[in-house]
């Protein structure tokens, strides 16, 4: 069995096998995509975009709730901004992402939310 062969290898051979096998894994992990607004618009499906941006909104709302000492006014403002007139908001987010494709999506959504709900 393969397991029995592994235990019969010396410690140095085991380390060598681990290092060699990591060389084959690293190039796959090295194919890294910048996770910016351009990627969200062009590299994700519409379902992925909606899920990702909803996650940003949830994070912003929860952070606001904590910042405000667990008072829900700011959090509700963020939810109202995001989930009322959703088509209009999505168009606004998409246009802002297209203006700033190299920027991170979270801060871009925060800028839009801050304009409506403050800090």
The structural domains of the chain, with segments of one domain joined by +, span 1-32, 37-117
Q: Which residue has the higher pLDDT, 15 or 75?
A: 75
Q: Residues 61, 79: contact at Cβ < 8 Å?
A: yes
Model pTM greater than 0.75? no
What is the tens place of the pLDDT at every residue in 104-114? 999 999 999 99
Q: Residues 54, 107: contact at Cβ < 8 Å?
A: no
Spatial CA neighbour of 103 closest among 31, 38, 45: 38
List the Cα angle 98/45/112 in 5-degree steps. 40
- Mean of all residue pLDDT scores within the chain: 81
What is the tens place of the pLDDT at every residue in 75-87? 999 999 999 988 8
Q: Using CB atoms within 10 Å of the CB of residue 76, give its burial: 0 to 12 exposed, 13 to 18 middle, 19+ buried.
A: middle
């Amino acid at each position: 069995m393969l397991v029995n062969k592994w235990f019969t290898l010396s410690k140095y051979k085991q380390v060598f096998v681990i290092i060699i096998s990591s060389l084959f894994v690293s190039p796959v992990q090295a194919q890294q995509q910048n996770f910016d607004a351009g990627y969200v618009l062009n590299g994700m499906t519409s379902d992925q975009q909606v899920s990702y941006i909803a996650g940003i909104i949830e994070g912003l709302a929860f952070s606001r709730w904590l910042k405000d000492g667990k008072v829900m006014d700011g959090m509700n403002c963020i939810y109202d901004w995001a989930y009322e007139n959703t088509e209009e908001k999505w168009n606004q987010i998409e246009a802002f992402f297209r203006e700033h494709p190299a920027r991170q999506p979270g801060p871009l959504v925060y800028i839009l939310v801050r304009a409506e709900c403050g800090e």
